[in-house]
Amino acid sequence: MSFDAEAKMQFLFALRSRGVTDTPVLNAMERIDRGVFVKGYFTDRAYEDMPLPIPCGQTISQPSVVGLMTQALKVTNRDKVLEVGTGSGYQAAILALLARRVYTVDRHRRLVAEAREVFERLDLSNITAFTADGSFGLPDQAPFDRILVTAAAEDPPGPLLAQLRIGGIMVLPVGQSDTVQRLIRVTRHEEGFDYDELRPVRFVPLVEGLAKDS
């Protein structure tokens, strides 16, 4: 199945019906072909609104969740964004069409290498991908205007909160198990942080350290 006009129409309809209504986000998701990031047995399901397995025991999130997280992040073309959890690279590619610069990190070297290849093929030159422990962020590139975390921690990691610029926004799943997780938005102010609960979600856990395949 290819990302032809009919597939795009069905794809965008599914996004809108699940609450993704921001026009720039929808335009970015129309331009980035999810099929490029899905390989092997699951390629024929690339345009369904469901998470799919990728290498290293990880998943590519369902498109509506990608859209809702991106929408909640309120990215502008002036923003420097940190993504924790590169995975397939799909979320970073969406962000690259909306932000000035995207830094993405993953603990799996293989995933970072494969994502870099796709970014180059799509000519997304404003993405820099690193193999690193994402729970510590990227101190050398901080502060960030926006931070997006695609793995669930029990609480927002302190190093990531510290790397968020005053006025910045972080969106991430939090929860102590894979059955009870909440997507939250954290906004940093001079006097502290505001927390908004957005919706229930289910993500792989945020794990410290580099993976053994790295």
Burial 57-66 (b: 16+ CB within 10 A, else e): ebbbbbbbbb
Given the residues 17, 61, 64, 214, the one annotated as active site: 61
Contact 115, 89 (CB under 8 A): yes
61 is catalytic: yes
Q: How many angstroms separate the CA atoms of 213 and 164, rounded?
A: 30
User: Could you give the residue numbers annotated as active site?
Assistant: 61
